[in-house]
């Protein structure tokens, strides 16, 4: 009765568990003292046996209770609390040097070692063996409760017999494959706690450790609940940190958030415990997540890291990252701090010495300050230099860059490897500083004419130098675009720079005053009759001269592409672009060198985006390159093709059915050819799938063959590891099926043909290949064609405002649309039944698969 009263109390609250543990222990000790002596050597522990039977009888009543019942959960937790209590009690008595209560109660001879056999160890062993019997029970509730009890007990089991430990370990490992999610989750908890006692060196050859099994559950378990449980309970160590950080890309939102808010925030003592690559991954994935809650958790983690290093402020914080090689990641981390704590921006004061003694960290810090303060009074109060002073700082850094370039070239000629390495490191640091300063300069106010002219002169000199690091081209372009008053002036200046690069020997001296004022629309501009064509014959050049000329051409093409990316007007409005096209881009397209052709085709595509006639005339060229060029060039060309079709949709589609059919067939043939390869290019498949998805969602193409092609790509074994394709198509089909009622009808029309193709693909799989199962694909198709699927979006429209009623009416624009989709499921069933009566489908496999789908 006393045990029943105690268990009755434990069901009501967790607060009384400690008191009930004390009361139960008193009963346990008293029961352990009830023995029967058979002889001088042996005794019969009748009291312990009676206590154990009563205890297990109470526990057994909770085993059949389903998950989620609070009273049963409290009983399980009380079992774990009591096992903890009695083991700690024995440990304390050992520390005090007193005779154990168990030995006194059992009246054991004093020469018997109490570590080997006590009433506590016998009780724990009895419970553990009894609970493990429930691991194999048919009732899922019994299995769940049994594992729940073990997970609560496992930390307080004390010393176990080796055979019992091995039995417990093997039983828990088997339950990792249980079909019930909650059971696998409890098993993960128990194994994670048991892993602390495992010594990997004692495992047999080829046997997986507990941590290895847990990481597999974290990476591969299909249920998010199990992955979350594994993430929380796997210990954070040097061997597990990479696996835990991989959860930053988990498909489940809460799992990704949990990594930042719980694991890294609470368990990571110091960010320097992570490697540089790991820290950058944390920042990049966290701040780049599509969900705001994950980004907020990552920002709080960054703020914690900063607070740990507050004594040395922001400069030391930036030392956590590779500012020279990954400055964008460090910049994002700084921006996250300033968003959470904008008052930190008020402490900035820039002296003259700050700008003359710049380091990559201090330059990036100034860049972050300007991003978060430009246009406010805070920027003026901080003492930012005027435009003229900024131009001189850029000039000074550029001079240092040239000096390091010369030193590196001299050391390379002298074959001094150490000096070359040191010079290149210094060169990268200066380039990083210049990149940050140029980014600041792009946002300055160029109302000061003298400062503007000086800055134009410096930037032009930088872009004209053939040794300027390529990473600095884009920042220089942004500064030049900000300084020049019009797009036409910007293009003309950049054309002059390209000419200077290609024809340095023919360059005529120009007065500096005139050169700096060429951007003024009110002044006459300098016009030089100079051509992009080289005066020398390439065939007459030496090998070194040809290589140098090719490097210059690559640099010129990169400059031209950077210009074209920033042009908003039409090609015809900027006549100076014609020279670039005729004398640089087109000749480079005809070259054999892949990198030249790739840059040139990109430039031709950018020109075509602002020139309709050129787009129509060059489309055949791009089509031919797409069929015969190597993969790197095909990637560029495919992007251009899709961009041109979307830009000039009415010129390519809608003029005639024959032309539409030919173009669609051409695009589908590229996809089929790529899927038919032994090793298809993941990047090309991603571009094709994204392009086709855009066409179908925008209504550019309505051919069911393209929809069928995407469906095949979705389940193909060639895209198993291609996350870009899988994520794109996962979103596409869900969005496409709800975008318009007629899309459900199109999906219904390809149901049978798609299923047949997927079935054939599944039958012809090679060893080691995997794909989405046909029955799983059938379930997804049925879901997408469900008339009710997507109605929640319409309800949202109707609940927003009066204006949304117009959108809802547009969705249900005609009654025939509703009539066309209300029977889509019925039409699918009719099609399936008709096909099942076909003589070609006499095999039982079809019946089995259809049964799986509809059950």
Cα angle value 616/621/623 (rounded, 5°): 90
* Residue 343 reports pLDDT greater than 80: yes
Token duo for residue 683: 């990047």
667 vs 653: CA distance, rounded Å: 13
Query: Residue holding tokens 């589609």?
Result: 653
CA distance 340 to 345: 11
User: What is the pLDDT at residue 173?
Assistant: 93
| pLDDT (average), residues 126-151 | 93
pLDDT tier for residue 616 given thresholds of 50, 70 and 90: very high
Q: Which of 33-47, 189-203, 833-847 has the lowest mean pLDDT?
A: 833-847
Mean pLDDT (whole number) for 650-659: 88
Judged against a pLDDT cut of 80, whether residue 23 lies above it is answered with yes
Question: Between the CA atoms of 554, 559, 563 and 564, what dihedral angle is there, to the nearest 10 degrees?
Answer: 0
Q: Calculate mean pLDDT across residues 442-471.
A: 89
- Taking residues 230-253, what's their average pLDDT? 91
pLDDT tens readout for residues 544-597 = 888 888 889 999 999 999 999 999 889 988 888 888 898 899 999 988 888 999
Q: What is the pLDDT of residue 110?
A: 45
Average pLDDT, the chain: 83
The pair of three-digit structure tokens given for residue 8, joined into one six-digit string: 């009755």
Whole-structure pTM over 0.75, yes or no? yes
Q: How far apart are CA 274 and CA 282, in angstroms?
A: 10
Q: What is the mean pLDDT of residues 178-186?
A: 93
pLDDT band, residue 524 (cuts 50/70/90):
very low
Given a cut of 50, whether residue 752 has pLDDT beyond it is yes
Burial of 378 (0-12, 13-18, 19+ CB in 10 A): middle
Question: 509 pLDDT band (50/70/90 cuts)?
Answer: very low
d(CA 721, CA 531) in angstroms, rounded, equals: 49
- Look up tokens 């959960």; give the residue: 73
pLDDT the model gives residue 850: 54
Q: How does DSSP assign 370-400, residue by residue?
A: HHHHTTSHHHHHTTPPPHHHHHHHHHHHHHH
Return the pLDDT at 634.
93
Q: How far apart are CA 695 and CA 646, in angstroms?
A: 8
Nearest to 216 by CA among 228, 227, 203, 232: 227
Q: Could you report the per-residue pLDDT of 113-123, keeping only the tens digit for each? A: 444 578 888 89
Question: DSSP H helical segments within 12-110, as ranges?
Answer: 17-32, 46-63, 70-96, 101-106
Average pLDDT over residues 60-66: 92
Of 246, 254, 191, the residue nearest 225 (C-alpha): 254
> Quick one: pLDDT band at residue 682, thresholds 50, 70, 90?
very high
Give pLDDT, residue 467.
87
Please answer whether residues 367 and 439 qualify as being in contact, where contact means their C-beta atoms are separated by less than 8 angstroms: yes
pLDDT at res. 537: 64
pLDDT at 197 over 80: yes
Q: What are phi and psi of 37, to 5 degrees?
A: -90, 120
| Phi-psi domain of 699 (left: phi exceeds 0; alpha: psi -120 through 50; beta: other) | left
* H or E element, residue 44: strand 43-44
Residue 697 binned pLDDT confidence (cut-offs 50, 70, 90): very high
Q: Is 772 helix (H, G, I), strand (E, B) or coil?
A: coil
pLDDT band for position 815 (50/70/90)? very low
Q: What residues contact residue 195 under an 8 Å CB cut-off, 6+ apart?
A: 209, 210, 211, 214, 235
**The pLDDT of residue 421 is above 50:** yes
Residue 433, phi-psi category: left (phi > 0), alpha (psi -120 to 50), beta (remainder): alpha
Does residue 635 carry a pLDDT above 80? yes
Does the pLDDT of residue 21 top 90, yes or no? yes
Contact 253/290 with Cβ under 8 angstroms? no
Which pLDDT belongs to residue 1?
Answer: 64
Helix (H) or strand (E) holding 37: strand 36-37
Q: Which of 99-113, 670-684, 832-846 has the lowest mean pLDDT?
A: 99-113
Residue pLDDT, tens place only, 344-356: 888 888 888 889 8
Q: Quick one: pLDDT at residue 201? A: 78
The mean-pLDDT minimum among 156-160, 183-187, 303-307, 474-478 falls in 156-160
Number of helices (H), then strands (E), belonging to the chain: the values are 45, 2
């Amino acid at each position: 009765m006393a045990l029943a009263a105690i268990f009755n109390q434990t069901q009501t609250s967790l607060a009384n568990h400690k008191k009930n543990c004390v009361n139960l222990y008193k009963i346990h000790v008293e029961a352990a003292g009830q023995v029967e002596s058979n002889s001088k050597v042996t005794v019969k522990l009748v009291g312990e046996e009676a206590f154990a039977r009563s205890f297990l009888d109470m526990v057994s009543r909770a085993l059949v209770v389903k998950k989620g019942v609070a009273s049963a959960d409290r009983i399980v937790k009380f079992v774990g609390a009591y096992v903890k209590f009695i083991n700690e009690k024995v440990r304390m008595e050992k520390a005090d040097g007193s005779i154990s209560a168990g030995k006194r109660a059992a009246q054991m001879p004093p020469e018997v070692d109490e570590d080997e056999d006590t009433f506590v160890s016998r009780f724990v062993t009895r419970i553990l063996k009894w609970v493990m019997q429930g691991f194999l029970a048919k009732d899922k509730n019994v299995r769940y409760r049994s594992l729940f009890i073990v997970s609560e007990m496992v930390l307080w089991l004390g010393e176990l017999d080796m055979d019992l430990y091995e039995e417990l370990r093997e039983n828990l490992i088997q339950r990792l494959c249980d079909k019930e999610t909650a059971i696998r989750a409890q098993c993960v908890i128990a194994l994670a706690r048991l892993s602390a006692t495992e010594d990997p060196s004692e495992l047999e050859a080829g046997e997986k450790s507990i941590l290895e099994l847990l990481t597999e559950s974290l990476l591969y378990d299909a249920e998010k609940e199990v992955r979350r449980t594994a993430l929380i309970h796997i210990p954070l160590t040097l061997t597990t940190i990479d696996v835990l950080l991989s959860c930053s890309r988990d498909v489940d939102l809460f799992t990704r958030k949990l990594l930042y808010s719980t694991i890294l925030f609470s368990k990571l003592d110091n960010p320097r415990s992570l490697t540089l690559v790991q820290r950058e991954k944390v920042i990049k994935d966290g701040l780049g997540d599509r969900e705001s809650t994950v980004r907020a958790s990552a920002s709080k983690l960054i703020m914690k890291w900063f607070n740990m290093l507050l004594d040395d402020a922001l400069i030391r914080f930036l030392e956590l990252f590779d500012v020279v090689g990954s400055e964008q990641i460090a910049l994002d981390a700084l921006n996250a701090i300033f968003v959470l704590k904008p008052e930190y921006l008020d402490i900035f004061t820039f002296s003259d010495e700050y700008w003359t003694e710049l380091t990559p960290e201090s330059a990036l810090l100034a860049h972050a300050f300007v991003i978060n303060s430009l246009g406010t009074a805070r920027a003026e109060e901080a003492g930012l230099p005027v435009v003229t002073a900024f131009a001189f700082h850029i000039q000074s850094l550029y001079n240092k860059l040239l000096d390091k370039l010369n030193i590196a070239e001299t050391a390379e000629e002298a074959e001094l490897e150490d000096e070359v390495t040191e010079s290149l490191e210094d060169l990268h640091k200066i380039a990083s500083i210049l990149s940050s300063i140029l980014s600041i300069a792009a946002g300055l106010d160029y109302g000061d004419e003298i400062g503007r002219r000086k800055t134009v002169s410096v930037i032009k000199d930088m872009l004209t130098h053939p040794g300027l690091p390529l990473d600095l081209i884009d920042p220089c372009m942004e500064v030049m675009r900000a300084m020049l008053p019009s797009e036409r002036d910007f293009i003309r200046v950049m054309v002059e720079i390209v000419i200077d690069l290609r024809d340095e020997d023919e360059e005529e001296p120009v007065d500096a005053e005139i050169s700096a004022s060429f951007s003024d629309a009110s002044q006459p501009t300098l016009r030089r009759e100079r051509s992009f064509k080289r005066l020398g014959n390439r065939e007459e050049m030496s090998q070194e001269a040809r290589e140098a000329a090719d490097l210059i051409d690559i640099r010129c093409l990169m400059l031209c592409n950077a210009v074209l990316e920033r042009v908003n007007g039409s090609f015809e409005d900027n006549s100076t672009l014609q020279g670039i096209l005729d004398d640089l881009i087109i000749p480079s397209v005809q070259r054999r060198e892949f990198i030249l052709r790739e840059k040139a085709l990109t430039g031709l595509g950018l020109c075509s985006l602002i020139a309709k006639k050129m787009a129509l005339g060059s489309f055949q060229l791009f089509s031919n390159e797409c069929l015969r060029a190597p993969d790197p060039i095909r990637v560029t060309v495919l992007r251009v093709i899709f961009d041109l079709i979307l830009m000039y949709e009415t010129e390519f589609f809608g003029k005639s059915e024959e032309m539409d059919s030919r173009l669609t067939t051409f695009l589908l043939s590229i996809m089929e050819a790529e899927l038919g390869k032994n090793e298809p290019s993941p990047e090309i498949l991603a571009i094709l799938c994204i392009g086709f998805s855009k066409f179908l969602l925008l209504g550019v193409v309505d051919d069911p063959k393209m929809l069928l092609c995407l469906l095949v790509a979705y389940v193909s074994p060639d895209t198993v590891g291609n996350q870009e394709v899988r994520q794109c198509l996962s979103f596409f089909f869900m969005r496409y099926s709800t975008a318009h009622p007629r899309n459900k009808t199109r999906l219904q029309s390809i149901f049978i043909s798609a299923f047949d193709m997927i079935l054939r693909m599944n039958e012809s799989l090679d060893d080691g290949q995997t794909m989405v199962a046909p029955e799983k694909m059938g379930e997804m198709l049925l879901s997408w064609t469900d008339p009710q699927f997507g109605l929640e979006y319409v309800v949202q429209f109707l609940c927003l405002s009066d204006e949304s009623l117009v959108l809802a009416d547009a969705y249900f624009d005609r009654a025939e649309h509703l009539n066309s989709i209300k029977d889509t499921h019925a039409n699918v069933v009719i099609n399936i039944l008709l096909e099942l009566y076909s003589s070609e489908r006499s095999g039982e496999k079809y019946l089995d698969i259809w049964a799986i789908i509809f059950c």
